[in-house]
């Protein structure tokens, strides 16, 4: 029975394009014929999806807007279809079930080992070139700093050992480190300057060296949020590993035209500010990025948005953009 109705008839039924007698017959069938009722439901979803996708044109589009959209219930269906379309695009564009927190664009500036480094850290793939370069450069600086600290720590230790005559330590002390999740969410360890190991003087007397290490530092995960796109770009996924205490976000600005900035964190539906940066003075460079360090206890698995405002000289706040991201815990 259902098969005798093609989509054109069903669309005409939904758009008020049938005669009264035909309309009544089909109305009755939506009650008495389960298959037909299902076919109408599917046709209705197809129709709404086609409208959302901009695939309806001419009289059909006009009928949709004049007839179908006449009801609040049907307008809700339209709103849902729009949201589903956007959601499916975002979800399907996510590279894997544990998507990268960093989405930074490929950069021509990167080449050779530098590019390989970015690729190995998952920093290439989409977004803003400036971020790719900056993030890559930051990594290199951190690694060089780490290397230097290891070297310095080791040299100091050797000097100390020589001075105290304890240069027979079998295991050289290792600096403690702050885990820094990579794009794939796997922490890498980067030495931090203030975690230089100190050797207790008592170790002289003990056969096994005892190292006193400063209390562990708060665990910070760093993420770069791409500049807001005009179209529907992929939503940045921010995966927070258990134990991460702070999430530090870096947001790039197109230009640096304001004397200061303010960043506010909101839930997906807007609502009250969950966190705000206060006034952050501009650093004066031509381009800039803003940073926000958020305690992860404020974040749940849902969509959030940073609202960035630029403060003009006369103190007026102007909205610059919203940086949305989805937290996965």
Partner 1 sequence: MKEVPAKMQRKGDWTPSEGSFKRFLVWLDQGTDTEGQSYLGMRDRLVTYFDRKNCSSPDELADETLNRVTRRLEEEGDIDSEAPAKYCYTVARYVFLESLRSGRDKHVSIDEASEQGKRELAAAEVDGDKELKEKMLSCLDHCTSKLDEPSRDIIIRYYYGKEREKIDNRRAMAESLGISVNALSIRACRIRDKLEGCVGNCAKEV
Smallest distance from partner 1 to CB 187, Å: 25
Among positions 231, 269, 272, 278, the unique one binding partner 1 when judged by CB under 8 A: 269
From residue 3, how far is each of 24, 28, 35 by CA, in Å?
19, 17, 9
Piece of 33-41, 140-148, 275-283, 312-320 that binds partner 1 (CB under 8 A): 33-41
The helix (H) or strand (E) run that includes residue 179 is strand 177-181
Please tell me whether residue 210 binds partner 1 under the rule CB under 8 A.
Answer: no
Distance CA(228)–CA(209), nearest Å, equals 53
Smallest distance from partner 1 to CB 176, Å: 36
Among positions 67, 152, 211, 293, the unique one binding partner 1 when judged by CB under 8 A: 67
Distance CA(216)–CA(194), nearest Å, equals 11
Q: Which residues contact 239 (CB under 8 A, 6 or more apart)?
A: 98, 99, 101, 181, 185, 328, 329
> Contact 153/145 with Cβ under 8 angstroms?
no
Please tell me whether residue 38 binds partner 1 under the rule CB under 8 A.
Answer: yes
Distance CA(232)–CA(266), nearest Å, equals 19
Annotate each residue in 298-327 with x if it binds partner 1 (CB under 8 A) or - if it does not, as one string. Answer: ---xxx-x--------------------x-
Q: Which residues 82-111 are close enough to bind partner 1 by CB under 8 A?
A: 82-89, 91-92
How many residues belong to the site for partner 1 (CB under 8 A)?
49
Please tell me whether residue 32 binds partner 1 under the rule CB under 8 A.
Answer: yes
Nearer to partner 1, 4 or 285 (CB): 4
**Phi, psi angles (nearest 5°) of residue 189:** -105, 125
Nearer to partner 1, 104 or 299 (CB): 299
Please tell me whether residue 65 binds partner 1 under the rule CB under 8 A.
Answer: yes
Smallest distance from partner 1 to CB 227, Å: 18
> Contact 219/188 with Cβ under 8 angstroms?
no
Which structure tokens are listed for 102?
């960093």
Instruction: Give the number of other Cβ atoms within 10 Å of residue 36's Cβ.
Output: 20
Please tell me whether residue 76 binds partner 1 under the rule CB under 8 A.
Answer: yes
Smallest distance from partner 1 to CB 66, Å: 4
Nearer to partner 1, 1 or 42 (CB): 42
Instruction: Give the number of other Cβ atoms within 10 Å of residue 302's Cβ.
Output: 12
Q: Which residues contact 233 (CB under 8 A, 6 or more apart)?
A: 226
Q: What's the chain's Rg over C-alpha atoms? A: 29
Nearer to partner 1, 89 or 212 (CB): 89
Q: Pick the closest to residue 321 from 308, 310, 311, 304 (CA basis).
A: 308
Smallest distance from partner 1 to CB 231, Å: 13
Among positions 259, 267, 276, 282, the unique one binding partner 1 when judged by CB under 8 A: 267
3-state secondary structure of 220: strand
Please tell me whether residue 77 binds partner 1 under the rule CB under 8 A.
Answer: yes
Nearer to partner 1, 290 or 327 (CB): 327
Interface residues toward partner 1, by CB under 8 A: 14, 16, 24, 27-28, 30-32, 37-38, 41-42, 45, 49, 53, 55, 65-67, 69-71, 73-80, 82-89, 91-92, 267-270, 301-303, 305, 326
């Amino acid at each position: 029975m259902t098969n005798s109705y093609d989509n054109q008839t069903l669309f005409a039924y939904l758009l008020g394009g049938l005669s009264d007698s035909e309309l009544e017959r089909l109305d009755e069938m939506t009650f008495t014929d389960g298959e037909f009722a299902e076919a109408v439901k599917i046709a209705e979803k197809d129709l709404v999806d086609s409208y959302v996708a901009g695939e309806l044109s001419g009289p059909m589009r006009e009928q949709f807007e004049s007839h179908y959209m006449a009801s609040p219930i049907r307008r809700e269906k339209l709103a849902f279809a729009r949201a589903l379309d956007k959601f499916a695009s975002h979800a399907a564009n996510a590279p894997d079930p544990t998507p990268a927190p960093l989405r930074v664009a490929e950069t021509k500036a990167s080449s050779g080992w530098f590019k390989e480094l970015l690729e190995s850290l998952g920093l290439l793939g989409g977004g803003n070139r400036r971020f790719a370069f900056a993030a890559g450069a930051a990594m290199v600086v951190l690694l060089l700093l780490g290397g230097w600290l290891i070297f310095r720590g080791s040299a100091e230790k050797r000097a100390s050992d020589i001075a105290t005559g304890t240069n027979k330590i079998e295991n050289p002390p290792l600096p403690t480190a702050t885990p820094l999740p990579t794009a794939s969410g796997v922490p890498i360890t980067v030495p931090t300057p203030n975690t230089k190991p100190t050797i207790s003087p008592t170790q002289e007397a003990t056969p096994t060296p005892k190292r006193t290490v400063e209390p562990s530092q708060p665990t910070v995960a760093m993420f770069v949020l791409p500049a807001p796109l005009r179209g529907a770009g992929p939503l940045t996924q921010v995966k927070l590993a258990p134990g991460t205490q702070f999430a530090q976000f870096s947001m790039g600005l197109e230009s640096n035209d304001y004397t200061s900035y303010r960043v506010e964190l909101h839930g997906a539906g807007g609502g009250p500010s969950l966190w705000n940066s206060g006034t952050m003075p501009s650093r004066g460079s031509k381009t800039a990025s803003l940073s926000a360090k958020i305690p992860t206890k404020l974040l749940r698995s849902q969509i959030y948005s940073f609202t960035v405002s630029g403060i003009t000289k006369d103190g007026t706040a102007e909205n610059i953009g919203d940086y949305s991201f989805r937290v996965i815990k």
